[in-house]
């Protein structure tokens, strides 16, 4: 007896679950049950699940009966010629919607010619076996599966035009590609996804060749002239937000150009972009540390001195400044308010990012790389027609990854550019033979290879080199937002150790395992030096081993417990001193026993 559930609720049992499912589906197809009903039999749990509730994701499939698709070839033609409507097909139960559960029971053929007696359904189109992200990849059937995975993952990171109202918005960060191109080699689903209206890449002339070692390890050589023409140029927007609060006692934050008497006043240069209101002027170029909004807030503490400060002296500078690595031009200033009615000022800073050495680019085949060298056009190889590649990719990127689709896209792109037409690279649709013959017809070698001439010497290269056109994404991993180094710099207040993170100009941690390497090399002195960033000299009482007091005014050191003056200075990590203090706060009395005492 198998259990039967409707919308997840147990309603009864049935002897022959498969026949029940079959009968229910038959009733649905004869309009005796609603079309929205889906049934599934789970043989592992021996239960029938009937679902008619909302919220199930369903997809259309062509019904197959006795090894024949109900959607015939004639119907295909009729649909194309608008002689038949979708509604008609749907109402006649030629196409039905299955939910995820019923789909588990279905045996779905990908195309009409592979239907067998066992099949229950057929895909409307063979490309529908792919999801949204994978369906924008061209020639996916010619690549290894993992490459498609990488390819669709990186398409998500590409810079394009994500929103068309970006000029009106003030999101924290967003990147916009300056002159996006529609790919020459396209897929059918791009129209449906909307990539034809807001594409996110460029068609680049590619040459698959080495280049003096500057494109090893997947690096890319980029043509300087192409960059000047706008290849991969993007604009990075970043907004800086500040809010104006009210404090008790009637004090509040206010916008102004801070007066020099305000606590924490910056230099005059920092305020130079502000207008008389204290807000930055639009289209002014702001450097790192430059003030975007002049803002003063009341002092948090009144200070040690008991005198009551009056007027501006009672305020501190709390201006909104440009953080590290975000310099640019002020795009716009937005003034609004939050739910409590506090004033909010948001300043959007824009910066044009031309591709530079270290920026990341990728194709639709998971072939990613970092720009390794920007080369003047005259030094790059050229073809007999005078075509100079935009990118030069190392041939080692191909064999181990087996991205045959990439090679085919290069050739197909070449055909498309030469013939002035778009090439269809949808799954199972593109035919290598067709592409080859059309390239031959256009007067080129059918494998896309061409003789190249060395740009420096003008000599013909010994081997023909694959050149063509491929679609490149510029990914939002820009070096200018990642580059980081430090020699000396800020330290954390509590531990006296260097700060962490790029935004705080922090150090790169020498961690536990790195420490072990120094020890394994037998270099503890080097290790001590590297860990010496928080080195301090602490006066310690020789008798009781507690940290002593160093009184600068009386110019003497004495122990707070035994009051004597037998003190030694001991050098130690400040973090260790901190730990001793924390132990003391836990009523543990750690003593330092100096040697020879």
Q: Which of 57, 310, 485, 588 binds other proteins (CB under 8 A)?
A: 588
Task: Report the alpha-carbon distance of residue 271 to residue 291 in Å, rounded.
Answer: 6
The nearest distance, CB 225 to other proteins, in angstroms, is 44
Residue 1 engages other proteins in binding (rule: CB under 8 A): no
Residue whose CB is less far from other proteins, 66 or 571: 571
Residue 525 engages other proteins in binding (rule: CB under 8 A): yes
Residue 583 engages other proteins in binding (rule: CB under 8 A): yes
Residue 561 engages other proteins in binding (rule: CB under 8 A): no
What is the DSSP annotation of 264-319? T---GGGGTTB-TTSBBPTT-EE-TT-EEE-EEEE-SS--SS-SPP-GGGGEEE--
Q: Which of 52, 402, 508, 519 binds other proteins (CB under 8 A)?
A: 519
Q: Which of 486, 531, 550, 562 binds other proteins (CB under 8 A)?
A: 531
Please name the residues in contact with 477: beta carbons below 8 A apart, sequence gap of 6 or more.
Answer: 157, 359, 360
CA dihedral 322, 324, 330, 335 (to 10 degrees): -40
Q: Which of 213, 532, 560, 594 binds other proteins (CB under 8 A)?
A: 532
The nearest distance, CB 520 to other proteins, in angstroms, is 4
Stretch that binds other proteins, among 15-23, 94-102, 483-491, 571-579 (CB under 8 A): 571-579
Residue 523 engages other proteins in binding (rule: CB under 8 A): yes
The nearest distance, CB 531 to other proteins, in angstroms, is 6
Please name the residues in contact with 110: beta carbons below 8 A apart, sequence gap of 6 or more.
Answer: 122, 123, 126, 129, 428
Task: Report the alpha-carbon distance of residue 229 to residue 238 in Å, rounded.
Answer: 25
Residue whose CB is less far from other proteins, 246 or 521: 521
Question: Helix, strand, or coil here: 23?
Answer: helix
Stretch that binds other proteins, among 16-24, 88-96, 183-191, 569-577 (CB under 8 A): 569-577
Q: In this structure, what token pair is assigned to residue 497?
A: 């150790």
Stretch that binds other proteins, among 266-274, 290-298, 450-458, 565-573 (CB under 8 A): 565-573
Residue whose CB is less far from other proteins, 453 or 574: 574
Residue whose CB is less far from other proteins, 107 or 589: 589
Q: Which of 520, 552, 554, 596 binds other proteins (CB under 8 A)?
A: 520
Residue whose CB is less far from other proteins, 174 or 518: 518
The nearest distance, CB 588 to other proteins, in angstroms, is 4
The backbone region for 376, taken as left when phi is positive above 0, alpha when psi lies in -120 to 50, beta otherwise, is beta
Q: Which of 12, 67, 131, 524 binds other proteins (CB under 8 A)?
A: 524
The nearest distance, CB 519 to other proteins, in angstroms, is 5
Number of residues located near other proteins, criterion CB under 8 A: 26
Residue 521 engages other proteins in binding (rule: CB under 8 A): yes
The backbone region for 43, taken as left when phi is positive above 0, alpha when psi lies in -120 to 50, beta otherwise, is alpha
Residue 527 engages other proteins in binding (rule: CB under 8 A): yes
339 has which bridge partners? none
Stretch that binds other proteins, among 309-317, 328-336, 368-376, 573-581 (CB under 8 A): 573-581
Residue whose CB is less far from other proteins, 337 or 526: 526
Q: Is 315:296 a contact under the CB 8 Å cutoff? A: yes
Q: Which of 118, 563, 571, 585 binds other proteins (CB under 8 A)?
A: 571
Task: Report the alpha-carbon distance of residue 315 to residue 300 in Å, rounded.
Answer: 9
Q: In this structure, what token pair is assigned to residue 200?
A: 């996110």
- Residue 246: half-sphere exposure toward Cβ, Cα within 13 Å: 8
The nearest distance, CB 522 to other proteins, in angstroms, is 2
Residue 584 engages other proteins in binding (rule: CB under 8 A): no
Question: Whats the size of the chain, residue-wise?
Answer: 597
**Range 479-518, binding other proteins (CB under 8 A):** 515-517
Residue whose CB is less far from other proteins, 164 or 537: 537
Q: 144 — phi, psi (to 5°)?
A: -75, 150
DSSP state, 575? H
**Range 94-133, binding other proteins (CB under 8 A):** none
Q: Is 48:17 a contact under the CB 8 Å cutoff? A: yes
The nearest distance, CB 7 to other proteins, in angstroms, is 38
Task: Report the alpha-carbon distance of residue 307 to residue 310 in Å, rounded.
Answer: 9
| Rg of the chain in Å (alpha carbons) | 35
Task: Report the alpha-carbon distance of residue 3 to residue 418 in Å, rounded.
Answer: 64
Residue whose CB is less far from other proteins, 70 or 575: 575
Residue whose CB is less far from other proteins, 165 or 585: 585
Name which of 208, 133, 156, 138 is nearest 413 in CA terms: 138
Task: Report the alpha-carbon distance of residue 409 to residue 203 in Å, rounded.
Answer: 11
State the distance between the two ends of the chain, measured CA to CA, in whole angstroms.
87
The nearest distance, CB 513 to other proteins, in angstroms, is 9
Strand 320-321 vs strand 291-293: parallel, antiparallel, or unpaired? antiparallel
Residue whose CB is less far from other proteins, 59 or 528: 528
Residues with active-site annotation: 218
- H or E element: which one contains 540? strand 535-541
| Other beta carbons less than 10 A from residue 213's beta carbon | 11
Burial class (CB in 10 A: 0-12, 13-18, 19+), 286: buried
Q: Which of 156, 535, 560, 565 binds other proteins (CB under 8 A)?
A: 535
Residue 282 engages other proteins in binding (rule: CB under 8 A): no
The nearest distance, CB 596 to other proteins, in angstroms, is 14
Residue 573 engages other proteins in binding (rule: CB under 8 A): yes
Burial class (CB in 10 A: 0-12, 13-18, 19+), 438: buried
Stretch that binds other proteins, among 64-72, 432-440, 448-456, 575-583 (CB under 8 A): 575-583
Q: In this structure, what token pair is assigned to residue 77?
A: 């033609």
Q: Which of 337, 528, 565, 581 binds other proteins (CB under 8 A)?
A: 528
The nearest distance, CB 589 to other proteins, in angstroms, is 8
449 has which bridge partners? 466
The nearest distance, CB 573 to other proteins, in angstroms, is 4
Residue whose CB is less far from other proteins, 476 or 518: 518
Q: In this structure, what token pair is assigned to residue 217?
A: 């390890």
Binding site for other proteins (CB under 8 A): 515-517, 519-525, 527-528, 531-532, 534-535, 571-573, 575-576, 583, 588-589, 591, 593
């Amino acid at each position: 007896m198998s259990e039967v559930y409707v919308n997840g609720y147990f309603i009864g049992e049935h002897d022959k679950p498969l026949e029940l499912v079959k009968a229910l589906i038959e009733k649905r197809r004869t309009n005796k049950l609603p079309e929205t009903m889906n049934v599934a039999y789970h043989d592992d749990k021996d239960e029938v699940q009937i679902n008619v509730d909302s919220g199930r994701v369903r997809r259309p499939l062509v019904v197959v009966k006795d090894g024949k698709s109900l959607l015939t070839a004639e119907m295909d033609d009729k649909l194309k010629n608008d002689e038949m409507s979708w509604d008609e097909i749907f109402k006649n139960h030629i196409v039905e919607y299955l939910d995820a559960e019923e789909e588990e029971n279905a045996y779905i053929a990908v195309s009409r010619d592979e239907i067998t007696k066992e099949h229950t359904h057929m895909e409307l189109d063979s490309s529908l076996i792919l999801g949204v992200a994978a369906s924008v990849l061209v020639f996916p059937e010619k690549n290894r599966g993992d490459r498609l995975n990488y390819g669709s993952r990186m398409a998500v990171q590409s810079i394009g035009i994500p929103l068309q109202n970006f000029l009106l918005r003030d999101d924290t960060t967003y990147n916009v590609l300056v002159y996006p191109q529609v790919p020459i080699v396209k897929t059918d689903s791009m129209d449906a996804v909307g990539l034809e209206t807001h594409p996110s890449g460029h068609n680049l002339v590619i040459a698959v060749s080495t280049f003096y070692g500057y494109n090893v390890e997947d690096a890319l050589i980029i043509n300087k002239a192409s960059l000047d023409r706008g290849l991969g140029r993007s604009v990075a927007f970043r907004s800086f937000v500040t809010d104006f609060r009210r404090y008790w006692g009637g004090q509040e934050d206010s916008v102004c150009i801070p007066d020099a008497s305000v606590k924490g006043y910056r230099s005059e240069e920092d305020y130079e972009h502000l207008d008389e209101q204290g807000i930055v002027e639009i289209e002014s170029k702001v450097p790192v540390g430059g003030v975007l909004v002049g803002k003063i807030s009341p002092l948090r503490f009144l200070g040690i001195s008991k005198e009551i400060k009056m007027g501006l002296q009672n305020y501190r500078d709390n201006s909104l400044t440009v953080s590290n690595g975000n310099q640019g031009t002020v795009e716009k200033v937005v003034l609004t308010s939050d739910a409590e009615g506090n004033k909010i000022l948001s300043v959007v800073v824009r910066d044009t990012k031309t591709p530079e050495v270290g920026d990341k680019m990728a194709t639709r085949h998971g072939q990613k790389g970092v720009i390794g060298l920007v080369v003047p056009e005259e030094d790059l190889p050229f073809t007999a027609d005078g075509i100079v590649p935009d990118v030069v990719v190392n041939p080692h990127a191909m064999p181990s990854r087996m991205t045959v689709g990439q090679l085919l896209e290069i050739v197909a792109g070449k055909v498309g550019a030469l013939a002035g037409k778009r090439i269809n690279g949808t799954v199972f649709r593109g035919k290598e033979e067709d592409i080859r013959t059309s390239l031959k017809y256009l007067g080129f070698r059918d494998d896309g290879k061409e003789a190249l001439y060395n740009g420096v010497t003008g000599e013909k290269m010994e081997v023909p080199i694959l050149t063509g056109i491929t679609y490149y994404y510029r990914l939002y991993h820009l070096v200018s937002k990642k580059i980081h180094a430090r020699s000396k710099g800020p330290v954390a207040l509590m531990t006296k150790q260097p700060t962490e993170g790029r935004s705080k100009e922090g150090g790169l941690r020498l961690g536990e395992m790195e420490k072990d390497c120094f020890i394994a090399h037998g270099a503890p002195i080097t290790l001590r030096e590297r860990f010496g960033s928080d080195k301090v000299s602490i006066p310690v009482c020789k008798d009781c081993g507690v940290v002593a007091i160093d009184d600068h005014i009386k110019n003497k050191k004495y122990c707070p417990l035994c009051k004597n003056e037998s003190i030694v200075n001991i050098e130690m990590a400040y973090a260790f001193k901190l730990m001793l203090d924390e132990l003391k706060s836990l009523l543990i009395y750690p003593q330092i026993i100096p040697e020879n005492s």
